[in-house]
Each structure stands twice: as structure tokens, then as C-alpha cells.
Amino acid sequence: MRVFLDLMWYFKSKKWRYIFAVATLVAVALLALIPPQIVGFTINAIHHHTLTQGQLLEWLLIIAGAALFSYGFRYVWRWLLFGAAIDLSTTLRERLFHHFTQMSPQFYQTKRVGDLMAHATNDIQAVEQTAMEGILTLVDSITTGTVVISTMAITISWQLTIVALLPMPVMAFATSRYGKILHHRFDKAQAAFSDLNDRVQENLSGVRVIKAFGQEEIEIGEFIALSQDVVNKNYAVAKIDALFDPTIQIIVGVSYFLSVAVGAYFVAHGRLSIGGLTTFTMYLGQLIWPMLAFGWLFNIVERGHASYDRIQTLFAIKPDIVDHPGATASPISGDIEYNVVRFNYPGVMRATLADLQFTVRRGQTLGVVGRTGSGKTTLLRLLLREFDIEGGHIAIGGVSIDAAKKETLRAAIAYVPQDHFLFSATIAENIAFARPRASQNDIERAARIAGVHDDIVRFPDGYATVVGERGVTLSGGQKQRISIARALLLDAEILILDDSLSAVDARTEAHILDSLRQERTGRTTLIASHRLSAIQHANLIVVLDGGKVAERGAHVDLMQRDGLYAAMYQRQQLEELVEEGGMRA
């Protein structure tokens, strides 16, 4: 029952709704007492030949009135109780989604997407059932059971009531035992569903790779194995779940047997009337639901408890990157100063970046080059404050990025990552993602700068073309350029292009770079690239090697030094000549 205490924060926020729902449930329980009493009175009147037509009509009208009021109250408690439970699931999903948006990349490196989706769907649904059916069964079993048992003891026979309740301790012990086992097995079943969900998500996202390598049968086999594991674990849950009703039915049967046997003895010895025994057995019939509800309650509560624990485990993970006390919300701009003594990713001993010191003047373009794994992307991600630096600092306009609010920092930066993610929406909506109210002219202008406008207008629906999930209907170059257009539409103080021109040809690359120089005068641009043609126009080029600055300077200066940069440039020039020769041949 601890899950009810865990959810008390929500019950308190909706206390009047729950109070009225409980009140109507109590009213329904009280109204349910009327028909058995009238049936008992009627049987006694018939037995004593005192029943009149007027009296019978009066009792029938009372039963009809009780049924009518009961109908109205049942509608009200369902509306109040079930509506509140749906609000709870909405609140939890909103909190969970907000929590996800606050987490750093490290969180998503350790958590699987399918598992997170399972938390936001199945687990929250189980908690919703606890706040819905759980509260219903808890209140209804307690109120109905208490009211009915009290009425049986007070108005009919307290001795017979005690006899009827003798099997109840057995039921309490059995349901408690079943509940503990159910909690353990349901937790395993939910974890298995998370594994299955994650595999489905990965396979759908990577379906092209699976087909390209002919791995369909292997993936199908692994999916079947995971699916069977989910089935087996849910079978284990169902085996315990199936024990509740038979156990309760046996106990109810024993209670009926004792009640009728002892009740008949009381009637035979004049200690109870036939009508009283009839009323008692009808009340005992009304106790079947509270008994079943009590067993069902353990089932629902243990499922909700297991799921809520899984959700709380996520909430307990605190964001790695948070605003420091006194962080400024004022817009930041100016020179970008890097002073990184040492940076290594969490859990990694080797430094990814070290002894990194340089300054990018406002309005300049920085080019970052180096071999694969040299730390180019890490250098750019640190400016976004995706990770905190323990040794050193990064500042913009003399303000450390740690001293600015995250929203303020990221509002000053437009970022085009290596992974060009597009949403299942129109091309216009993808470009206007960060500025949903942008005009069509602004959207098209950004697309022209990014060199993708001509491609878009050739589509049958133009900017209204709906791209597939993650942009699967577009080429790699089109996705890259749409991502660039999305960043350019922000017109941010700082633009970061992380190897964002790798999938376009040399002519398109030159067009985009020329457009950027013209459109971003006075604003800072940072470009990381493997292709040196993308950064040779930069005011400052930083060459990384093993996470350290091997060389720095403008293109001309670096070529004159005849060092690492010059070697890279000459090799790429040679590769381009070989490619051109191959094409001519």
C-alpha cells in the first residue's frame, strides 16, 4: 500500500475531487443496504400473512428510488475518480518528458530509448490504474465491507456475522502473500517489455542497415526470443494473478456454507426469522465484491508500486548540467575564449582535450580540423555546455559559460550537429523548428543560403513535403542542408557547424560558405570539418592532434609552416585530383 503514500502529493492537490468521489462511493454503499432489508420485510410479511398491496407498492417505489439515486452517484464517482487518474498520468508524463529534456548526453549514453519509452507508457499506465481502480477498490472494499458487516451485526445477528467472517483471516494472508510475489514478477515483466521495446526501436531506426547486410532473419530470431521472454514473464505474472479469484471464491463459499448452516440452526430454534436469514444471505452476497476487490486491490497496487518505483528511479537521476546560483539571464556575446587545461568524458581516464588555449574574436570564423578522434566535436560541444569542465573555463564576451543560464547560453548559439535529425513533419516545419512562427519568406531565405531551396521546390509539394521519420526520404546532402537552414533561421550570435558539409559536393559547399560570409558579417562562426576546403577561409584555424593544439593560424600561415595542416591539405588535394582523373577516364 506504500504506493498510495508515494502518490499522496497528487491526492492532496486534488483533495476535493477525491473527497467527493469517496462521498459518492459511501452513498452508493448505503443505498445498497435498502433492497435486502425490504426483501426481508416482505418475506416476513408474507410468512405472517400481513402483506398488503399498498405496502408492497411502497417498498417497490423505495427500491426503484434507491436504484435511481445509485445510478446517479455511480456516474459521478466514475467521472471524478477516473478523470483524476487520467490527470495524474498526464502530469507524470509531462514531468517525465521535462526531466528527459534536462538530462545531459551522458544520461542518454547509459539509457536505452526503448526503456525510456516503456517508462513513459506502460509504467505510467500502471500507476494510472492504481490511482483509478486502486482507489476505487480500496475505498469501495472498505466502505461497502464496513457498512454491510456493521448492518449484518447490528440489525440481524452479531453471532452469525462472526461465523460468516471466520474464513477472512485466511484470505488476508493469502492475498498478502500473492501480492509480494506479484510485485517481484511484474517488475521483471516490465523490464522485459523495456528490452523488447528497445529492440523494436533500434530495428525500425536501423532497418536500412539491417537490409543492407541481410540480417533480417537474425534480427527476427532475436526479436522472437525477446518476445518469448516477455510472454514467459507475463505468464509468470498471470499465474499469480489467477490465484486471487479462486482463493477468494473458495473463502466466500466457506462463508456461505457456515452462514446458511448456522443460520438454519438459529431459525429452527427461533433465534432468527426466515426474512432475517434471507436478508443476511443477500448482505453476504454484497460482501463478495469487497472480498474480490480486496484481492484485486493487491494486484493493482503491486503493479502500480513496481511501476512507480521504476519511474522514481528515473526522477532520482539528477541532471549533470545545472544553472549555478546567480547565473545571469542577460544575452551574451563577444569574443570566445577557450582555456581548457584538461577534459575527459565521465568514466574515461584518458583526457580528450588538454592544454587548449585560443581566442576567437567576435565576427571571426574558426576552423577546427584534425584526424578522426582528435577532439573536434568535443571542443564544440563544450561551448554548448553539454559537459562541465573541471580544469579551465570557456568564456563568451568575458562571461564564463558556467555563469550564464543554460537557456541564455544556448539561445546565443545555433548548432548543426553531425547527426542531422529531421522530424516527421514538412520541410518548412523542420526548418522553422526553433522559430515556429517564422514567415515563409524567412524560411525560404534560410534555405537559399543553405543551398537547398532549388532541391525543395522540385519536390511535388515543395516546402509542404512531409519527410519520413529522421528524414529517410531525403538524401544525406539534403538533410545536411535543411539542418543548416534550420540553424541559419535563428540568426544566432554564434553558429556551429560540426562537419555539416561532408555530404555536399564542392560547388554546393562553396556556395554555402560564400553565403555564410555575406550573411553573417559581425557574427561568429565555428566550423569543424575533415575537408579543409570548408575551413581554409577561416580567420583562425586550430589543428588538433591527440586532443591538443598541434598548430594554429590562418590557412596561408599554416601552409608556409609545412606541418601537419599542410600535409593534410596536400593529401586531400591529391585525392581530389585522383577522383577527377577517375571520373574523366
pLDDT digits (tens, 9 = 90+) for 519-573: 888 899 999 988 888 888 899 999 999 889 999 999 999 999 888 999 888 888 8
pLDDT tens across 302-312, in order?
Answer: 778 888 888 88
Domain around 470: 420-491
| Per-residue pLDDT at 1 | 65
Residues 426 and 311 grouped into a single domain:
no
* Residue at 131 is within a domain: yes
Q: Which of these three, 261, 285, 315, is where a domain ends?
A: 315
Whether residue 63 has pLDDT greater than 70 = yes
pLDDT bin (cut points 50, 70, 90) of residue 369 is very high
The total domain count for the chain is 2
pLDDT tens across 9-50, in order?
Answer: 888 888 888 888 888 888 887 887 787 777 777 777 776 677
Q: What is the mean pLDDT of the chain?
A: 83
Amino acid at site 529: S
Q: Which residue has the higher pLDDT, 456 or 277?
A: 456
Whether residue 579 has pLDDT greater than 70 = no
Mean pLDDT of 266-285: 79
| Per-residue pLDDT at 395 | 92
* Residue at 515 is within a domain: no
* Residue at 86 is within a domain: yes
Q: Of all residues in the chain, what percent carry a pLDDT higher than 90?
A: 12
CATH of the domain at 440: 3.40.50.300
* Residue at 386 is within a domain: no
pLDDT bin (cut points 50, 70, 90) of residue 54 is confident
Helix, strand and coil in the chain, % to nearest 5: 65, 10, 25
Instruction: Using CB atoms within 10 Å of the CB of residue 499, give its burial: 0 to 12 exposed, 13 to 18 middle, 19+ buried.
Output: buried
**Cα dihedral 500/505/506/508 (nearest 10):** -80
pLDDT tens across 197-232, in order?
Answer: 778 877 776 776 777 667 788 888 888 888 888 888
| Per-residue pLDDT at 101 | 85
The pTM of the full predicted model, rounded to 2 decimals, is 0.71
Residue 61: other Cβ atoms inside 10 A:
10
| Per-residue pLDDT at 526 | 93
Residues 299 and 447 grouped into a single domain:
no
Residues 300 and 426 grouped into a single domain:
no
Residues 233 and 105 grouped into a single domain:
yes
* Residue at 32 is within a domain: yes
Residues 253 and 134 grouped into a single domain:
yes
Mean pLDDT of 468-481: 76
- Torsion sign over Cα 441, 442, 448, 454: negative
CATH of the domain at 191: 1.20.1560.10
Pair 278, 39: CB distance under 8 Å: yes
Whether residue 494 has pLDDT greater than 80 = yes
Residues 303 and 437 grouped into a single domain:
no
Pair 248, 287: CB distance under 8 Å: no
Mean pLDDT of 69-87: 86
Residues 433 and 290 grouped into a single domain:
no
Pair 267, 277: CB distance under 8 Å: yes
* Residue at 394 is within a domain: no
* Residue at 21 is within a domain: yes
Q: Which of these three, 315, 340, 355, is where a domain ends?
A: 315
Residues 439 and 300 grouped into a single domain:
no
Q: Which of these three, 273, 298, 315, is where a domain ends?
A: 315
Residues 242 and 98 grouped into a single domain:
yes
Nearest to 100 by CA among 85, 115, 86: 115
| Distance from chain centroid for Cα 378 | 28
pLDDT bin (cut points 50, 70, 90) of residue 580 is low
DSSP 8-state secondary structure symbol assigned to residue 467: P
Could you tell me whether strands 391-396 and 353-360 are parallel, antiparallel, or unpaired per DSSP bridges?
unpaired
